């Protein structure tokens, strides 16, 4: 957000959404077949110090190693030629060898990355292995291509470096690659689903828990996959250096495919430390926006403008507005958002705010914006800042930030009032808020016309045992439905923010959900439409006969009501006794949070 004078905003009740553009044989070795909105000065911020990261060094020299002691791929020559072409086009030298004598401490120190190009079998002796381990420990980079996973089975350190050993493969055939990380330098250019022909390896173990999976295979798109969850390209920080591996690259045609060679270039740059890249494992995250229209339909727009959707990417339209996730507030969490500014543009990720009630300024005043803005003169309003409150570590940010026109990734961790911000895996800010942000919603900003911003892959992980919506999709009974409408009771528990239950225009009315069994109920969350309850009670029951009232109000004001419960129950009922309007009772969402 750039500092603007406040003007009246017009609520667009739903986000502007456009259509998404379309876009085995077994072998022992491979190929063998209400706080104040007053801003605090930056000096008032609190938090742990942030350690600067070293800036990425330019990529100058790469070694390609293609020795084989088993099956030899015909594509090796094409692969060497492709890496040489990448070097010529991108200003780095390439040395190719099949001589393991190149693996000495002194010689390896000349290179920022070593590409193991479809190596097979045992290719290094003990002294050479020790030299390569020392090279990685000193910050060197490893790039494994295809049969690099069919190499050095008796060297456990190498098995950890490559990430997974080869197990088997079916015949070469087309398959669909699911690109999981679209902010990585090696995969940001790819579509969400990438169909190509290759030889698709199965691996002896799934590496996901130890690596950052960049892409995986859709095993329903081909025959012979045996892993279920099937990573195919990944990276990791390993033993002092960095590793990047892809199972692609069996065919000679791969090395003439710009999509593949661009991925390979990004992998080399990632392994060499020549570009910021987050290679930490990512486990336990739930995607709130996964690039599909159905996931976008769960979000709401507060304020003017909105977002278009194409190829899994949100693009801002007008503003100033906020696209926010109304399904549930979050506490003690890590949220990750991939973003890209085409030029000198502006946006932000919002955390810890209450229901905006259509006003995009409420999140500004009551939550925090994690700013995206490359050029604001005030450091507390630039990329990585907690807007107007805490500037980032500018040296750490400079080392981690990819330039306009390329993708970056935020990780924002919120624990109570502490906010920690990582950019592309590097911590750049740490702030303890004076606002009540421990529990709240998240959203992304469309700042205004001409201040363009793109977002992808919004995902979240909460700490410990968290409450879930026990009412989602459960049977519902209501006393009435608005005459002539489709606003049935089930709409209030379907998770769709565009559907609602509406009652007849009389008092009293009620809606009851059956949780299926006795559960622990922590709270009830009611998201009212314009026709809300002035007075209502919340009741619980083990048997739909004996009811206990856990909350009562006669001063309902609509919007979002969060009602603490702290009880066990199978049935939960909201009984409206006085309408606030001439209409009936209308709920967008009736959530029962518990375990």
**Whether the predicted pLDDT of 265 surpasses 80:** yes
Residue 353 vs residue 498, higher pLDDT? 353
Calculate mean pLDDT across residues 463-488: 90
pLDDT value at residue 18:
33
**Whether the predicted pLDDT of 7 surpasses 50:** no
Calculate mean pLDDT across residues 306-329: 94
365-369, 391-395, 459-463: which range is least confident on average?
459-463
pLDDT value at residue 341:
94
15-29, 138-152, 235-249, 427-441: which range is least confident on average?
15-29
CB atoms within 10 A of CB 34: 9
pLDDT value at residue 467:
67
User: Would you give the end-to-end CA distance of the chain in angstroms?
Assistant: 38
Burial 538-564 (b: 16+ CB within 10 A, else e): bbbbeeeeebeebbeeeebebebbebe
Calculate mean pLDDT across residues 385-403: 94
pLDDT value at residue 39:
31
pLDDT value at residue 420:
96
Calculate mean pLDDT across residues 140-162: 98
Tokens 């309850």 label which residue?
Answer: 533
**Whether the predicted pLDDT of 557 surpasses 90:** no
SS (H, E, C) 311-348: CCEEEEECCCEEEECCCCCEECEEEEEEEECCCCCEEE
pLDDT value at residue 42:
30
DSSP string, 132-148: HHHHHHTT-EEEEEGGG
pLDDT value at residue 55:
57
Name the residue among 196, 259, 201, 229 with its Cα closest to residue 32.
201
Per-residue confidence band for 364, with pLDDT thresholds at 50, 70 and 90: very high
DSSP designation for 102? G
Computed over every residue of the chain, the mean pLDDT equals: 89
Distance between CA atoms of 155 and 108, rounded to whole angstroms? 19
Name the residue among 276, 240, 66 with its Cα closest to residue 157.
240
Calculate mean pLDDT across residues 320-338: 94
CATH 2.60.120.560 residue ranges in the chain? 291-462
433 Cβ neighbours under 8 A, 6+ residues apart: 352, 368, 386, 389, 417, 418, 419
How many residues are present in the chain? 595
Per-residue pLDDT tens digits for 167-223: 999 999 999 999 999 999 999 999 999 999 999 999 999 999 889 999 999 999 999
Tokens 């009880």 label which residue?
Answer: 567
Burial 133-152 (b: 16+ CB within 10 A, else e): bebbeeebbbbbbbbbbbbb
567 Cβ neighbours under 8 A, 6+ residues apart: 520, 521, 540, 548, 550
pLDDT value at residue 38:
29
Per-residue pLDDT tens digits for 81-130: 999 999 999 999 999 999 999 999 999 999 999 999 999 999 999 999 99
592 Cβ neighbours under 8 A, 6+ residues apart: 469, 470, 471, 513, 515, 521, 524, 525, 572
CATH 3.40.50.880 residue ranges in the chain? 63-272
Name the residue among 203, 98, 94 with its Cα closest to residue 147.
203
Distance between CA atoms of 35 and 437, rounded to whole angstroms? 10
- CATH of 63-272, picked from 3.40.50.150, 3.40.50.280, 3.90.1150.10, 3.40.50.880, is 3.40.50.880
Question: 48: phi > 0 → left, psi -120 to 50 → alpha, else beta; which?
Answer: beta
pLDDT value at residue 561:
84
- The runs of H, that is alpha helices, within 138-254 are 156-162
% pLDDT > 90, the chain: 78
Per-residue confidence band for 567, with pLDDT thresholds at 50, 70 and 90: confident
CATH class of the domain at 468-594: mainly beta
- CATH of 291-462, picked from 3.40.50.970, 3.20.20.70, 3.40.640.10, 2.60.120.560, is 2.60.120.560
pLDDT value at residue 49:
37
* Whole-angstrom Cα Rg for the chain: 27
pLDDT value at residue 497:
82
43 Cβ neighbours under 8 A, 6+ residues apart: none
% pLDDT > 70, the chain: 90
Tokens 């000193």 label which residue?
Answer: 138
Calculate mean pLDDT across residues 269-288: 92
pLDDT value at residue 200:
98
pLDDT value at residue 219:
95
CATH 2.60.120.260 residue ranges in the chain? 468-594
Token reading at 435: 């606002």
């Amino acid at each position: 957000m750039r500092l603007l004078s406040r003007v009246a905003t017009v609520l667009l009740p739903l986000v502007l959404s456009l259509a998404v553009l379309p876009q085995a044989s077994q072998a022992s070795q491979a190929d063998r077949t209400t706080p104040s909105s007053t801003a605090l000065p930056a000096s008032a911020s609190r938090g742990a110090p942030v350690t600067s990261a070293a800036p990425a060094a330019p990529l100058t020299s790469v070694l390609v190693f293609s020795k084989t002691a088993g099956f030899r791929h015909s594509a090796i020559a094409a692969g060497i030629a492709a890496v040489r072409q990448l070097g010529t086009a991108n200003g780095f030298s390439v040395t190719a060898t099949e001589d393991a004598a190149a693996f000495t401490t002194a010689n390896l120190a000349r290179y920022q990355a070593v590409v193991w190009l479809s190596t097979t079998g045992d290719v290094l002796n003990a002294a050479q292995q020790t030299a390569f381990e020392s090279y990685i420990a000193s910050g060197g980079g490893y790039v494994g291509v295809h049969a690099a996973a069919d190499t050095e089975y008796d060297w456990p350190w190498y098995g950890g470096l490559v990430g997974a050993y080869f197990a088997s493969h079916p015949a070469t055939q087309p398959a669909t690659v699911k690109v999981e990380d679209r902010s990585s330098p090696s995969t940001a250019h790819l579509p969400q689903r990438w169909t190509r022909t290759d030889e698709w390896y199965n691996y002896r173990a799934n590496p996901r828990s130890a690596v950052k999976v960049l892409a995986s295979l859709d095993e329903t798109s081909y025959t012979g996959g045996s892993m279920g969850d099937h990573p195919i390209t990944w990276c990791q920080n390993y033993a002092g250096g960095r590793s990047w591996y892809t199972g692609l690259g069996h065919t000679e045609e791969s090395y003439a495919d710009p999509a593949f060679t661009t991925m390979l270039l990004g992998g080399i740059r990632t392994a060499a430390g020549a570009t910021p890249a987050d290679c930490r494992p990512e486990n336990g995250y739930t995607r709130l926006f996964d690039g599909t229209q159905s996931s976008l339909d769960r979000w709401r727009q507060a304020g003017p403008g909105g977002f278009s959707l194409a190829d899994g990417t949100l693009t801002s339209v007008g503003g100033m507005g906020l696209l926010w996730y109304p399904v549930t507030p979050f506490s003690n969490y890590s949220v990750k958002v991939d973003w890209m500014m085409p030029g000198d543009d502006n946006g932000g990720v919002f955390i810890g705010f209450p229901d905006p009630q259509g006003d995009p300024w409420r999140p500004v005043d009551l939550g925090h914006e994690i700013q995206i803005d490359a050029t604001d003169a005030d450091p507390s309003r630039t990329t990585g800042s907690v807007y107007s409150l805490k500037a980032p570590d500018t040296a750490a940010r400079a080392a981690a930030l990819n330039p306009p026109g390329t993708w970056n990734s935020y990780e924002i961790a919120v624990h109570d009032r502490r906010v920690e911000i990582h950019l592309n895996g590097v911590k750049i800010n740490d702030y303890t808020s004076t606002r009540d942000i421990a529990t709240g919603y998240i959203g992304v900003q469309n700042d205004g016309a001409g201040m363009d911003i793109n977002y992808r892959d919004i995902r979240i992980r909460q700490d410990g045992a968290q409450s879930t919506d026990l009412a989602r999709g459960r049977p519902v009974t209501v006393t009435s439905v608005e005459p002539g409408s489709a606003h049935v009771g089930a709409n209030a528990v379907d998770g769709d923010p565009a559907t609602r239950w509406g009652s007849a225009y009389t008092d009293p009315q009620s809606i009851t959900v059956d949780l299926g069994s006795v559960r622990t109920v922590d709270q009830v969350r009611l998201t009212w439409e314009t026709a809300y309850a002035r007075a209502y009670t919340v009741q619980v029951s083990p048997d739909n006969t004996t009811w206990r009232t856990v909350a009562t109000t006669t001063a309902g004001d609509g919007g979002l009501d969060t009602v603490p419960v702290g009880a066990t129950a199978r049935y939960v009922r909201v009984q409206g006794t006085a309408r606030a309007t001439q209409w009936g009772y209308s709920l967008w969402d009736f959530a029962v949070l518990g375990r």
